[in-house]
Amino acid sequence: MVYLNFTDSSEVTQNRLLEDSKKDVERKFGDDIRKYVRKNYTCFETMIEEEAMRNLYSYTFVFKI
């Protein structure tokens, strides 16, 4: 679960969540993504970014109001 203050939806917070998601994706699927990148000649950073955006939808957010 990700705990957020309801009034804290600033760009800084959004970037922090995206960076956390990137780390999570790389930890979970980094080896598989690297294999895919080598096989298909794509950019690793782009793949991580796209998967991190998808990964955000799997988080459970708890808002403090």
- Bridge partner list, 3: 62
Identify the DSSP state of 7.
T
Specify the pLDDT at position 42.
92
- Phi then psi for residue 23, to 5 deg, are -60, -40
Q: What global pTM score does this model have?
A: 0.75
Specify the pLDDT at position 24.
93
Specify the pLDDT at position 1.
63
Specify the pLDDT at position 4.
59
Per-residue pLDDT of the chain (65 residues; tens, 9 = 90+): 666 555 566 788 788 888 999 999 999 999 999 999 999 999 999 999 999 998 888 877 777 66
